[in-house]
Structure 1
Amino acid sequence: MRSDRVDPQLDSGAPLGRGLLAAASRIVVKVGSSSLTSVSGGISEQALTNLVDVLAARRNQGTEIILVSSGAIAAGLAPLGLGRRPKDLATQQSAASVGQSLLMARYGAAFGAHGITVSQVLLTAEDLTRRTQYANAYRALERLLHLGVLPIVNENDTVATHEIRFGDNDRLAALVAHLVKADAMILLSDVDAVYDGPPAQGAQRIEHIGGPQDLSGIRIGSTGAAGVGTGGMATKIQAASIAAGFGTPALVTSAANAAAALAGHDVGTWFSLHGERRPIRLLWLAHLASTHGRLTLDDGAVRAIRERHKSLLPAGIKAVSGNFEAGDAVELADLGGRPFAHGLVNYDAAELPVMLGRKTKDLADELGREYVRAVVHVDDLVLL
């Protein structure tokens, strides 16, 4: 691992677009359950081996690969006598617990045939949104890469709850790509690209997406026919957009196109950068955090936050709704009810009503110095 890595898309001498995949020194690759599952159910040895052969070849050329792999629950279905992915959380966790070791054993053997050591890294949302856990996860992954190990990342399904789940490994891959400062991210599934409608109805492949404006009018599908995943094209588009908006370009394509994708060929749909790297906490706050309430602001407060990047003070708040505690994520909305930002609030919902529209100096004089702090500090606020 080198400490002087630069983003190849920001280096004037480096290729742009898909071409940077051929030169990238660190890539996060995510593969979905649908790409690893056999027709009869469970993990397909052939599909897994084909993917490993492609990734191992690139890894042995010197590129650092972090693989985010779904499939633990799918791998656990057959041993538990289950025909399809269970709907209840407890059975999903049981299947993941059984399947994760089976999946890793297969990856270990397949990569081992190429002389590559793999490691298992199980994460939860908290690991990538709280500073201490985030730092530990970063150090662990950096050290593994430095030692020549190929980390295989999955959500820790066995202990995750509905409240803290990433929702799917596509968004987890975007967080991991941001965490390790990857040069690019590739999302592999059973669909070869993003289309402007259902492919079976003659839709056209979208070759490039430069920002949210390019997604208008697109009809997006959901979970694949295999019924073993939790994602679908909607979450892949969201994850690729999140990554590109926070400093990591991304490609969405099929597992069958993995070799061509890594070579920078014209396959799939390329999401080019439309934002810069920002703290991972803001990425989570913008796209993944569950909000627990809403603060409605007057026009002056909206302008101060949007245009002058100011903290939110009590004087600009017109209304409070929801049941939240200090530290929770809340929506910030304009007078028309349109959310325009998310922030971490510094007060409980019960504390705010007496503060609305008042200056912090007056609040401090009446209620105490602890009421000088902003309702939402600018460092804990992200525009949508």
Structure 2
Amino acid sequence: MVSERIVVKIGSSSLTSDEGGLNRERIAFFASELAALHNKGANVILVTSGAVAAGFRQIGYTARPKALHEKQAAAAVGQALLMQAYQEALSGYGIVAAQILLTRSDFSNRKRIQNALMTIEELLRLRTIPIINENDTVSTDELKFGDNDHLSSLVAAMTKAEQLVIITDMDGLYTEDPRKNPEAIKIERVDQISEDIMSVAGGSGSSVGTGGMRSKIEAARIAMRGGVHAFIGSVQQPGDLQLALSGNGKGTYFDTKLDSLPMKKQWLGFHSMPKGRIIVDKGAEDALLSGGKSLLPAGVRGIEGDFHPGDVVEVVSLEGAPVGRGVVNYTAWQAQAAAGLGSEEVSRRIDVNRIEVIHRDEWVSLR
């Protein structure tokens, strides 16, 4: 485990009571689990939820708030309480905790996310544990990381972690909800997230947290695409976190054979904000996914949105399924005019700098 990089995500329901407020015993337990990894030489990054849940009682709300401004106010109080609890718990093991607050817009800005990565790398070099949370006090889109499941997968891919551990109150993924059907079968390992896998994911199991099993599987999908192995399961007893990393954990493993993506490809695939969509035929879809080819005008079948050269666009199949994203070389009207035409015909009719609608060097597959 020496120098292995591990991202651990802990949700609100694992840190707080159902009524709200921090559960200090649980935080002390997780601190001991993280410290055990840290002291074995692992580079540990913690992605934590819990700011809103920690703060809403303190600020005077009787139940978890639903309005955005109320959540932001609760988070402003709760984030300080959350970090204080982690600092105190980890200091007993001689470990310094460092706070990093991120928003979705940080990831969509290439310079800002590169700066965040540099900070994380320096904190790991100094043998601290970076503790990352969404900056709930300024987030404007309803705290949309989904109990930080999505955030944890982006952090794992960005830092090129070997493993992402998403801790939940369930001991893995089942064919049905085992709380309702005792004959439900546990799924031990997943190497491809199909629609069947997604269909067995239910909703949220707690009034304190916001992320259900579906958001955790979506997070595992992003991690796998970024070359990171993922684990979704329970860490309740001493040693459970190390068991999860050794392959004997109480949960489901999501394996990948893909290599980690360069930051540019990560930004394209996970962080950028597409300005439009390009619909392609089956031939172009296969060429992009399997042939390592660029997208040529002949394979384009439709255009949605208004975009310009240099913008990021999403590419979808004729059925609407995501294929990938790329930096487009055409305006929307040029792409519409060139759709279905051969390259020579496009060169005669339309003044474009490059014949490729999307060059393969500016492309990332999302399958």
How high is the TM-score relative to the length of structure 1? 0.83
| Offset of residue 119 of structure 1 | 0.5
Matches within 5 A, 1:51-66: 51-66=30-45
Name 2:235's counterpart in structure 1.
255
Matches of 1:184 and 1:170, distance apart in 2: 14
Matched, 1:120 2:102: no
SS across alignment from 2:145? coil
List runs of 5+ in structure 1 lacking aligned partners.
1-21
Matched, 1:243 2:242: no
CA 1:360–1:90 in structure 2 vs 1: closer, same or farther (change >3 Å)? Answer: farther
CA 1:333–1:116 in structure 2 vs 1: closer, same or farther (change >3 Å)? Answer: closer
CA contact under 8 A between 2:45 and 2:131: conserved in structure 1? yes
Matched, 1:222 2:203: yes
Select which of 285, 289, 297 maps to 1:314: 297
Select which of 101, 105, 121 maps to 2:84: 105
- Identity across aligned pairs (percent)? 39
Matches of 1:48 and 1:280, distance apart in 2: 33
Select which of 134, 147, 152 maps to 1:155: 134
Q: Deviations over 1:259-304 (max 9, x none)?
A: 2231333421111223221234544654566545332224443343
Letter paired with 2:118: R
Structure with more strand by fraction? 2
Matched, 1:177 2:177: no
SS across alignment from 1:301? helix
Letter paired with 1:315: A
Matches of 2:358 and 2:52, distance apart in 1: 39
Matches of 2:291 and 2:269, distance apart in 1: 19
CA contact under 8 A between 1:126 and 1:164: conserved in structure 2? no
How high is the TM-score relative to the length of structure 2? 0.87
CA contact under 8 A between 1:170 and 1:235: conserved in structure 2? yes
CA contact under 8 A between 2:3 and 2:41: conserved in structure 1? no
| Offset of residue 242 of structure 1 | 2.3
| Offset of residue 69 of structure 1 | 0.5
| Offset of residue 224 of structure 1 | 2.3
Moved more, 264-273 or 161-170: 161-170
Q: Deviations over 1:116-157 (max 9, x none)?
A: 111001122343454322322222111111111111011222
Name 1:295's counterpart in structure 2.
278
List runs of 5+ in structure 2 lacking aligned partners.
none
CA 1:346–1:258 in structure 2 vs 1: closer, same or farther (change >3 Å)? Answer: farther
Moved more, 177-186 or 68-77: 177-186
| Offset of residue 333 of structure 1 | 3.3
Name 2:356's counterpart in structure 1.
374
SS across alignment from 1:372? coil
Name 2:9's counterpart in structure 1.
30
CA 1:75–1:135 in structure 2 vs 1: closer, same or farther (change >3 Å)? Answer: same
Name 1:204's counterpart in structure 2.
185
Say how many residue pairs are matched.
361
Q: Deviations over 1:195-249 (max 9, x none)?
A: 1111111122222222225954752122222x22221111112212321332111
SS across alignment from 1:186? strand
| Offset of residue 35 of structure 1 | 0.3
